């Protein structure tokens, strides 16, 4: 049986997990791949004596892996932007295939990297970067290849979903975030998780493969969960919704919506029931309808599972010497279109609005008139006399689907009313129809 | 761009859907595949003027497709066993690749078919046969290739799940079955659906790809849902469980469990929340943990989605002239082991037992003694004084996990007690740990 030589750069969480699983399941993986996935060299800033690398050459210089002519595939697991970009481009320049778990790298530098790889006819695979252990890129790029994909929506940041799940019990954002950090879910600097940057990286990648457009991370709209309150979460629940931090990509005639934000989801939808640190992605295709993919979005061995799935795919190409390729983003480069990414003003969504208004006659009529002037229909309305405070009571509205700029216009007019205090709380809602 | 020539045999539900989607999304699919998937010939017993076949050669003799030397891939969508087997073997003998949606064929004749295909170095792909539009075979064969798969469990017959969902409202099996037939979900002869044969076909295929064993449909244990009552369903719910008709495959040291039967599932598990005609498959791997795949298990275009995903995979091989293959059942033939399939006596499961016992002192003690003698621990117990009937009341027990033969022994001893009337109702329960 042929050996395919693998070089791992970065022996942290995912690198360590990849090493472990490749050792433990070596025979089984070879039985599937039809060749041996041999780790021929590893490099990381610090040694990992706990891993028992044995005879495998180790160095602290990751470029030793690139320079080793025996290496067929470079696994980039150092993370970050610039160093990873340089490393991956150097690997490609040497004619080596690349497997990475780095969604930031692919979302931001993917177009450049794929162009370089196409020139050299090498593979760059990144399943592990999107939703950890869930083989969702394979589903989008291959399993759903027959479909015009209409939209996809996902819980794609486990930390954020954990925080939202805990906030359902009335706990405040800051308190739960602290706990998530203590449990090791959130990064020490958690902004990537809670502000939606990490989710936007993954969403950008999925959207490109779903719709056949170049990666455009800088055009993704991103809103975090830090300003959500248990108060609004529980009122959304009273209306029959759960609040989830979703990445949503939708293809429309006039462009593509690419957005990450807290979202009301009908409680009957399976994705509303996904709690804790797990991820789930719902994909709607014109032929298949809705399919959902669910599982661990992070973790050493869960992420390694996807790294190794990519390695098996690449190893089959290396071992058979074949020219057969699945295109980087699921579409041949000639088939990629530049369908534009829409600005937030152009989003179509339903909206949850909470307005603090004076409890006196005529106020509701004024608000209703403003909404109606903007062509906004109201789906349901909830007023809580019991929550009267300083003469103001909360008025909670759920709108039908409407253009976001109309909602924003209505909100500024409502906020300008003398009877209204504070800012209007606005949370988007989706019915997935 | 190269043409890859496809011949479709059987223009029924799935054949028609495949034709439609290939026409509608032709450009998009070519953009993904890197070649044109050209339907160069179709054959079916009766013409389908509604499809608008245009210039595409049509004949009533399916062997015209095999004889056409221009055809690269034969799509078998006639269904059934013997004719389909003969057709597929003839296609292989002509050196043509095969795509099929026929799970009965693969589960029963797959070993023979794959051997013939291996000799001729042609692909036989069957994603559409398992869980319709859900790309679960791709997940098992490729996406989870790093994992030692411990077990998988699935709702893999939409009709059965629809019936069980409706029975939760207290409706009787026969009534709901009639409705499912009227709605077109169930076959006119519904035994394949409700007796679990169809689910066992799919389970057999998934288990072989998960564990690397030959297909052994005749060794699968199959129990249907026709004897379930709304009474037991509601009592299971009172204990915190939902009843689902599951296919379960588990790999153990001493063999493989391969079984289809009604199953109590904890209501907190996502799979318990899968209602109606959708399918869902939960897969547990040693590296990734649990992932779940959810979506439509049948339907013309949903099934076509998987047929075409297979066609794209095959077309890439044809167009690149490559020798690269994913093994038929996910493992190279040398890596397939003959780990035995266990008999029902050897299953390990928890059990829901309902016993109709005389309401007098000492009866419970006798039953408890019988269970304890067999080493069976009780997880929970429920007795309904309010349901006293002819002096008998139902005693409902949930056991810990135990060998099935011990439970069966206990049941026959309990049934022999003079204080017990009727047969003991036994339903397996799983906690997916
Ligand atoms: N963790 C997850 O669950 C997960 C899930 C999905 C995707 N990912 C992605 O996987 C990648 C790796 O994540 P991780 O969690 O494994 O990170 P990590 O634990 O920080 O591991 C990174 C490793 O690379 C080493 N390293 C970084 N730069 C280096 C350099 N220039 N030269 C040599 N060694 C270098 C680090 O060494 P030092 O620690 O000594 O600096 C560390 O050992 C990231 O792109 C991440 O986004 C992670
Ligand atoms: N329907 C689904 O949702 C679904 C989902 C997953 C998998 N599948 C599988 O897909 C396959 C096809 O199912 P289907 O629902 O499409 O069945 P179907 O509607 O009955 O279609 C079968 C077609 O093949 C024709 N046919 C059968 N034997 C033939 C022969 N010897 N020569 C010429 N034509 C022949 C039939 O013609 P006549 O009607 O004139 O006999 C019919 O047009 C089956 O294996 C099924 O298990 C179906």
> What whole-number distance in Å separates Cα of residue A350 and Cα of residue A344?
13
Percent of chain B topping pLDDT 90: 92
* Ligand 1 centre distance from Cα of residue A403 (Å): 41
Residue B102 corresponds to which tokens in the numbers above? 């026929």
Q: What angle do CA B392, B396, B401 make, to 5 degrees?
A: 145
> Hey, are the CB atoms on B305 and A127 less than 8 Å from each other?
no
Q: Is the dihedral of CA B208, B309, B180, B263 positive or negative?
A: positive
Answer yes or no: are the C-beta atoms of B349 and B425 closer than 8 Å: no
pLDDT confidence of residue A155? 98
- Whether B246 lines ligand 2, by a CB cut-off of 6 Å, is no
A175 pLDDT band, cuts 50/70/90, is very high
What distance lies between CA B282 and its chain's CA centroid?
A: 12
Q: Do A86 and A10 fall into the same domain?
A: yes
- Nearest listed ligand to the Cα of residue A192: 1
Distances in Å between the Cα of A293 and the Cα atoms of B139, B143, B406 are: 10, 12, 38
Q: How many CA atoms lie within 13 A of B252 on its CB side?
A: 16
What distance lies between CA B412 and its chain's CA centroid?
A: 31
Q: Do A147 and A292 fall into the same domain?
A: yes
Helix axes B103-120, B197-211, angle to 10 degrees: 40
pLDDT confidence of residue A315? 98
Q: Do A149 and A283 fall into the same domain?
A: yes
> Hey, are the CB atoms on A31 and B212 less than 8 Å from each other?
yes
Q: Do A233 and A264 fall into the same domain?
A: yes
pLDDT confidence of residue A195? 95
Q: Buried b / exposed e across A368-394, counting CB within 10 Å, b at 16+?
A: eebbeebebeeeeeeeeeeeeeeebbb
- Whether A17 lines ligand 1, by a CB cut-off of 6 Å, is no
Q: Do A30 and A155 fall into the same domain?
A: no
The residue behind tokens 């010939």 is B41
The helix (run of H) or strand (run of E) holding residue A103 is: helix A103-120
Across chain B, mean pLDDT equals 96
> What whole-number distance in Å separates Cα of residue B431 and Cα of residue B40?
50
Q: For A306-333, how does the pLDDT look when each residue is reduced to its tens digit (9 = 90+)? A: 999 999 999 999 999 999 999 999 999 9
Question: What's the per-residue H, E or C state across B362-378?
Answer: CHHHHHHHHHHHCCCCE
List the binding residues of B for NADPH: 103
* The last residue of a domain, from among A312, A335, A358: A335
Q: For B296-329, how does the pLDDT look when each residue is reduced to its tens digit (9 = 90+)? A: 999 999 999 999 999 999 999 999 999 999 999 9
> Hey, are the CB atoms on A295 and B291 less than 8 Å from each other?
yes
Q: Do B160 and B226 fall into the same domain?
A: yes
Mean pLDDT for B9-18 is 97
pLDDT confidence of residue A221? 98
The CATH number assigned to the domain holding A112 equals 3.40.50.720
Q: For A52-85, how does the pLDDT look when each residue is reduced to its tens digit (9 = 90+)? A: 999 999 999 999 999 999 999 999 999 999 999 9
> What whole-number distance in Å separates Cα of residue B242 and Cα of residue A126?
38
What phi and psi values does residue A225 have, to the nearest 5 degrees?
-110, 5
Pairing of strands B255-266, B289-296: unpaired
Q: For B175-200, how does the pLDDT look when each residue is reduced to its tens digit (9 = 90+)? A: 999 998 888 777 777 899 999 999 99
> What whole-number distance in Å separates Cα of residue B198 and Cα of residue B389?
39
- Whether A367 lines ligand 1, by a CB cut-off of 6 Å, is no
Closest chain A C-alpha to B200 CA, distance in angstroms: 22
The CATH number assigned to the domain holding B392 equals 3.30.70.260
Q: Inform me whether the pLDDT recorded for B429 exceeds 70.
A: yes
Which residues touch B100 (CB under 8 Å, ≥6 apart)? B75, B76, B77, B84, B88, B106, B124, B125, B126, B128, B129
Q: Which of A142, A309, A313 sits opposite B144 (nearest CB)?
A: A309
Which residues touch A141 (CB under 8 Å, ≥6 apart)? A209, A326, A327, A329, A330, B32
Q: Do B88 and B172 fall into the same domain?
A: no
Which residues is B427 bridged to in the sheet?
Answer: B352
pLDDT confidence of residue B349? 97
The CATH number assigned to the domain holding B280 equals 3.30.360.10
Q: Do B373 and B396 fall into the same domain?
A: yes
Percent of chain A topping pLDDT 70: 100
Residue A425 corresponds to which tokens in the numbers above? 């709380």
Q: How many CA atoms lie within 13 A of A258 on its CB side?
A: 29
Reduce the DSSP state of residue A383 to 3 states and report it: strand
Q: For B89-104, how does the pLDDT look when each residue is reduced to its tens digit (9 = 90+)? A: 999 999 999 999 999 9
> Hey, are the CB atoms on B296 and A305 less than 8 Å from each other?
no
Q: Do A329 and A349 fall into the same domain?
A: no
Answer yes or no: are the C-beta atoms of B388 and B353 closer than 8 Å: no
Which residues touch B203 (CB under 8 Å, ≥6 apart)? B154, B156, B220, B247, B248, B249, B258, B259, B260
Q: Do A216 and A148 fall into the same domain?
A: yes
Is the residue at A107 inside a domain?
A: yes
What phi and psi values does residue B378 have, to the nearest 5 degrees?
-100, 130
Is the residue at A263 inside a domain?
A: yes
Which residues touch A12 (CB under 8 Å, ≥6 apart)? A44, A77, A78, A79
**Could you tell me which residue, B383 or A350, shows the higher pLDDT?**
A350
Residue-number span of the structural domain to which B192 is assigned: 143-296
Mean pLDDT for B204-230 is 97
User: Which of the residues A120, A202, A405, A409 is marked catalytic?
Assistant: A202
Which residues touch B5 (CB under 8 Å, ≥6 apart)? B38, B40, B41, B70, B71, B72, B73
Q: Inform me whether the pLDDT recorded for A197 exceeds 70.
A: yes
CA-only gyration radius of chain B, Å: 24
pLDDT confidence of residue A73? 98
Closest chain A C-alpha to B304 CA, distance in angstroms: 7
For residue B289, which residues of chain A lie inside 8 Å, CB to CB?
133, 295-296, 299, 301-302
> What whole-number distance in Å separates Cα of residue B431 and Cα of residue B433?
6
pLDDT confidence of residue B433? 64
Closest chain A C-alpha to B231 CA, distance in angstroms: 25
For residue B25, which residues of chain A lie inside 8 Å, CB to CB?
146-148, 286-287
* Ligand 2 centre distance from Cα of residue B194 (Å): 20
ipTM over 0.90: yes
Reduce the DSSP state of residue A3 to 3 states and report it: strand
Is the residue at A138 inside a domain?
A: no
Question: What's the whole-model pTM score?
Answer: 0.97
Q: Do B149 and B292 fall into the same domain?
A: yes
Q: For A409-432, how does the pLDDT look when each residue is reduced to its tens digit (9 = 90+)? A: 999 999 999 999 999 999 999 988
Q: Which of A308, A330, A332 sits opposite B145 (nearest CB)?
A: A308
Residue B252 corresponds to which tokens in the numbers above? 């153990």
Which residues touch B86 (CB under 8 Å, ≥6 apart)? none
Answer yes or no: are the C-beta atoms of A73 and A314 closer than 8 Å: yes
* Ligand 1 centre distance from Cα of residue A100 (Å): 11
Q: Inform me whether the pLDDT recorded for B388 exceeds 90.
A: no
Number of domains in chain A: 3
Tell me, what DSSP letter sits at residue B273?
G
The residue behind tokens 């996809």 is A152
Residue in B13, B17, B84, B157 to alter for ligand 2 test, most ligand atoms within 8 A of Cβ: B13
A433 pLDDT band, cuts 50/70/90, is low
Is the residue at B54 inside a domain?
A: yes
Q: How many CB atoms lie within 10 A of CB B184?
A: 9
> What whole-number distance in Å separates Cα of residue B201 and Cα of residue B128?
13
Q: Do A375 and A322 fall into the same domain?
A: no
Q: For A7-27, how does the pLDDT look when each residue is reduced to its tens digit (9 = 90+)? A: 999 999 999 999 999 999 999
Q: Which of A32, A134, A145 sits opposite B312 (nearest CB)?
A: A145
Q: Buried b / exposed e across A186-198, counting CB within 10 Å, b at 16+?
A: beeebebbbbbbb
> What whole-number distance in Å separates Cα of residue A165 and Cα of residue A230?
10
Residue in B8, B88, B101 to alter for ligand 2 test, most ligand atoms within 8 A of Cβ: B101
Answer yes or no: are the C-beta atoms of A136 and A209 closer than 8 Å: no
Closest CA to ligand 1's atom 27: A78
């Amino acid at each position: 049986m042929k050996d395919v030589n693998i070089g791992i750069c970065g022996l942290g969480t995912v690198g360590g997990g990849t090493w472990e699983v490749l050792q433990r399941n070596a025979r089984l993986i070879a039985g599937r791949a039809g060749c041996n996935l041999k780790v021929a060299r590893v490099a990381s800033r610090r040694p990992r004596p706990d891993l028992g690398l044995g005879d495998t050459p180790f160095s602290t210089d990751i470029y030793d892996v690139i320079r080793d002519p025996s290496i067929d595939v470079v696994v980039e697991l150092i993370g970050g932007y610039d160093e990873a970009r340089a490393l991956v481009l150097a690997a490609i320049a040497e004619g080596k295939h690349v497997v990475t778990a780095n969604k930031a790298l692919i979302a931001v530098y993917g177009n450049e990297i794929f162009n370089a790889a196409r020139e050299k006819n090498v593979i760059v695979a990144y399943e592990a970067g999107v939703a950890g252990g869930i083989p969702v890129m394979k589903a989008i790029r291959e399993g759903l290849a027959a479909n015009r994909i209409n939209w996809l929506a996902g819980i794609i940041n486990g930390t954020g979903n954990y925080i939202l799940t805990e906030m359902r019990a009335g706990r405040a954002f800051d308190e739960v975030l602290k706990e998530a950090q203590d449990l090791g879910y959130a990064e020490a600097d958690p902004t990537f998780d809670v502000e939606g940057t990490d989710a936007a990286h993954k969403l950008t990648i999925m959207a490109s493969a779903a719709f056949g457009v170049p990666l455009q991370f800088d055009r993704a709209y991103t809103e975090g969960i830090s300003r959500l309150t248990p108060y609004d979460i529980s009122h959304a629940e009273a209306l029959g919704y759960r609040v989830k931090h979703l990445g949503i990509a939708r293809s429309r005639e006039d462009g593509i919506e690419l957005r990450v934000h807290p979202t009301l989801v009908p409680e009957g939808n399976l994705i509303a029931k996904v709690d804790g640190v797990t991820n789930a992605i719902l994909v709607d295709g014109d032929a298949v309808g809705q399919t959902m993919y669910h599982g661990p979005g992070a973790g050493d061995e869960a992420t390694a599972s996807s790294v190794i799935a990519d390695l098996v795919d690449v190893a089959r190409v290396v071992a058979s010497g074949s020219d057969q390729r699945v295109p980087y983003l699921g579409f041949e480069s000639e088939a990629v279109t530049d369908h534009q990414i829409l600005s937030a003003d152009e989003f179509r969504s339903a909206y949850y609005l909470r307005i603090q208004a004076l409890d006196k006659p005529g106020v509701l009529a004024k608000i209703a008139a403003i909404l109606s002037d903007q062509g906004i229909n109201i789906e349901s309305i909830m007023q809580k006399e019991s929550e009267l405070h300083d003469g103001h009571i909360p008025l909670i509205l759920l709108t039908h689907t409407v253009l976001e700029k109309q909602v924003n216009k209505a909100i500024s007019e409502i906020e300008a009313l003398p009877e209204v205090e504070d800012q209007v709380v606005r949370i988007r809602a989706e019915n997935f129809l």
